[in-house]
Structure 1
Amino acid sequence: MAAYENYEKIEKIGEGTYGVVYRARHRSTGRIVALKKIRLETEDEGVPSTAIREISLLKELHHPNTVGLLDIVHSDVKLYLIFEFLDLDLKKYMDSTAPYGLDPTLVKSYMHQLIRGIDHCHSRRVLHRDLKPQNLLIDQKGILKIGDFGLGRAFGIPLRTYTHEVVTLWYRSPEILLGSRHYSTAVDMWSIGCIFAEMVLRQPLFPGDSEIDQIFRIFRLLGTPSEKQWPGVSSLPDWSAVFPHWGPKSLEAAVPGLEPAGLDLLAKLLTYDPGLRLSARKALQHPYFADLDVSAGEEQQAAALQQQQQRQAAAAAQAAATASHTVSSPA
């Protein structure tokens, strides 16, 4: 365990679930890191169980597609977690590509990396429970890394009863929205489906502004679930017999531009019954990824990023030329 004096705070960069995050520098090596100060409820309580949980999870998650925990600093009543510093997340990157959007090759690459990372978590009995574009970080080589395991929790068998006040609303699975206290890895796979659609659409698939609005947005697209489709749904705490009955709409119409194999993968991720929802392990074997050269590694990420940047530059140049022509044209 390192000493707090080894690190110099540079600036506050955000507030996490349980504390403040700073950009900091290691004094002797000069390495820039993210320093996460864990908020303690009172000075007498010591390190909260939430922090201990996160630390224990992160120690298990050494993988190219998860953000690395570099160090732990315990100073008096304060606890700091030192992570590799990444200042670009998927949300910021998607915003930067507007209005052109992400190249389909890059979408496929990011999806594969995301699922690889979450498969690693799930294989170690860890749920993330708060997957969203803001928690997916991208390094300078174009490698996507899953971050912010503040709501993560190890799961065992039998499945435990969990709080359902987790996962940002837009990426929240229907079983959580309907009040289920028993859930597992399938909640992360639903979130991945929502992120997949958002990368293609350049906007959230289900941007609800309340829990009931979120439920109804899902029902309007996928149809109101039935007992035949999802056994046990009508017994969930927040299910109502007076929910409107909507029929399913076309995913192809809802997410235009996605290739047929991608639509099939999306449908399997956005499956109502958690027991039938595609697992991370099976998702990695889906035909959507058949033409992705996963052995290319970093070279492929760099090439995909370059292709994306060239596409944006060409579109920007065309827009500038059009604007110039418009200005120079006689009145």
Structure 2
Amino acid sequence: MQNLRHAATEAFHRLGLKQRHLGYAELDEADKPQPHWFHTLQVRRLKVQRGRSNSDPMGGKSFDQEFQWKTGLQFGTANSYLNLEKLGEGTYATVYKGISRINGHLVALKVIRMKTEEGVPFTAMREASLLKGLKHANIVLLHDIIHTKESLTFVFEYVQTDLAQYMMEHPGGLHSYNVRIFMFQLLRGLSYIHSRRILHRDLKPQNLLISYLGELKLADFGLARSKSIPCQTYSSEVVTLWYRPPDVLLGSTDYSTALDIWGAGCVFIEMLQGTPAFPGEADIFEQLQKIWAVLGIPTEETWPGVNELPNFRPEWFLPCEPQQFRNVWKRLSQLPYKTEDLAQKMLTTVPRHRISAQDAMQHPYFNTLPPPVTQLRDTVSVFKVPGVRLETEVKDIFSPSRRIKPSQAGPLAKCW
């Protein structure tokens, strides 16, 4: 092994490179010119800021000092994984990028802090019990669970970024073909969990992970529930406000899979136009006003039973001022018919009228995808099908200066 390392070091010095942790850096550029392709790679490497990148797994730390392979390590133990960097922090948990000392794979470590008097949070137990039984290409994979006195750690497969970050990198709306691929995968994951009577209950771009290939994976099942639990115990305080359907905003707890379909429809529009479909800023009333402005104000005739919902207030159903209220749903006419039709079937006010995930996958909107994508086994990625790949976005990650304004993005930027 020592001879092999010595030979590799000599070879890289002959090429004008020197070792640096797990990667390599230039020798003094003034002393030795570099080939043109090398400069291109360095420029891309320095300028591009990609969230959750796995280009440098050690994050600049010394490989020899910080990472030692150990024999006999087992799953379920804290010393089997090494934290590399923090990816994000929430109210109850912190997510780190890590590496497994068992097999060298990159992982995401979701560390849930425990209070001594309360023990393991119930939401964490529910998330673990649900994810352990879900094996699907479009659902994040739970590798391991580590339980200590101070914390509970979920070890997930490492996925490079999420849909929210991806849309930030590509403002003004995504490439129409990429939207189609992402939506098919989202519906595929939903169809899988819905067939197992599981509701995600928190669909939003931040909870949809995107791999470097373009694989979309449902993540963060902290609010997920199994329909085997009586629906009377459900809560209306679910789903981030922008992606919460009107029936739940009005206090309904008797909901089903249509809850997730509404959230998926909101994500659909957001990918198309580059901005959220219903960006309420203050409270439930404002959120409902955003929805009524697009779908129209419902009545007992158009939505039987709406007056009986727990949060129903007559003043929430009064017409807006003429200059503020407009049925901007008509803007969807700028989209191709099949796109508009699917969006309307998902974003229907009455929950029982919303299309199911399984039926949505059969919608003509997806006819341009290769037919084999509808016949894959659960654990097989759609990118295994020949011809399925992401197209280059208008704003490519290797050209950060090529930013476009929403007004320059064509009809899709204002389709809502």
Equivalence for 1:109? 181
CA distance 1:285–1:161, shift in 2 (3 Å): same
Contact 2:395 2:402 in 1 (8 A): no
- Mean CA deviation greater in 274-283 or 186-195: 274-283
The structure 2 residue matched to 1:205, chosen from 277, 281, 286, is 277
Cα displacement string for residues 131-180 of structure 1 (whole angstroms, at most 9, x for unaligned residues) = 00111111121111111111111112753332222211111110111111
Are 1:28 and 2:102 matched, yes or no?
A: yes
**Counterpart AA for 1:262:** T
Within the candidate set 169, 174, 177, 2:241 is matched to: 169
CA distance in 1 between counterparts of 2:261 and 2:350 reads 12
- Note the residue ranges of structure 1 that are not aligned, 5 or more in a row: 321-331
Among candidates 103, 107, 118, match of residue 45 of structure 1:
118
1:298 aligns with 2:370: no
**8 Å contact kept, 2:95–2:111:** yes
Measured after TM superposition, the shift of residue 94 of structure 1 is 1.1
Q: TM-score, normalised by structure 2?
A: 0.70
Q: Report the residue type matching 2:101 in the other structure.
A: R
Q: Distance in 1 between matches of 2:163 and 2:330?
A: 24
Hey, what does 1:90 align to over in structure 2? 163
Alignment of 1:1-331 (within 5 A): 2-16=76-90, 18-40=92-114, 42-99=115-172, 101-156=173-228, 159-209=231-281, 210-242=283-315, 243-245=317-319, 249-253=327-331, 255=332, 257-295=334-372, 297-298=382-383, 304-305=389-390, 307-309=391-393, 311-312=394-395
Whether contact under 8 Å (2:348, 2:354) holds in the other structure is yes
Q: CA RMSD in A?
A: 2.6
Are the counterparts in 1 of residues 139 and 218 from structure 2 also a CA contact under 8 Å? Answer: yes
How far does the alpha carbon of each residue in 1:211-255 deviate from its partner, in whole angstroms, 9 at most, with x for none?
Answer: 1110011011101111222111111111122321368825241x4
Which piece of structure 1 moves more, 162-171 or 71-80? 71-80
Task: Give, as a single letter, the amino acid of the residue that structure 1 aligns with 2:250.
Answer: L
Distance 1:90 1:249 in 2: 28
Relative to structure 1, the CA distance from residue 294 to residue 60 in structure 2 (aligned partners, 3 Å threshold; closer, same or farther) is: farther
Instruction: Work out the CA distance in 1 between the residues paired with 2:386 and 2:347.
Output: 27
- Kindly tell me: are residues 299 and 60 of structure 1, through their superposed partners in 2, closer, same or farther at Cα, counting changes over 3 Å? closer
Deviation at 1:108, TM superposition (A): 0.8
Mapped partners of 1:150, 1:157: distance in 2: 16
Structure 1 pair 64–149 and aligned structure 2 pair: CA distance change class (3 A): same
Secondary structure of the 1:112 match is helix
Please state whether the residue corresponding to 1:60 is helix, strand or coil: coil
Q: Which runs of 5+ in 2 are unaligned?
A: 1-74, 374-381, 404-416
**In 2, Cα distance between the equivalents of 1:134 and 1:32?**
20
Q: TM-score if structure 1 supplies the norm length?
A: 0.88
- The answer to whether the 8 Å contact 1:33/1:85 transfers is yes
What is the rounded CA distance, in whole Å, between the counterparts of 2:225 and 2:121 in structure 1?
A: 14
The number of aligned residues is 315
Q: Percent identity, aligned pairs only? A: 45
Runs (4+) off by over 4 Å: 299-303, 316-320
- Amino acid across the alignment from 1:265: L
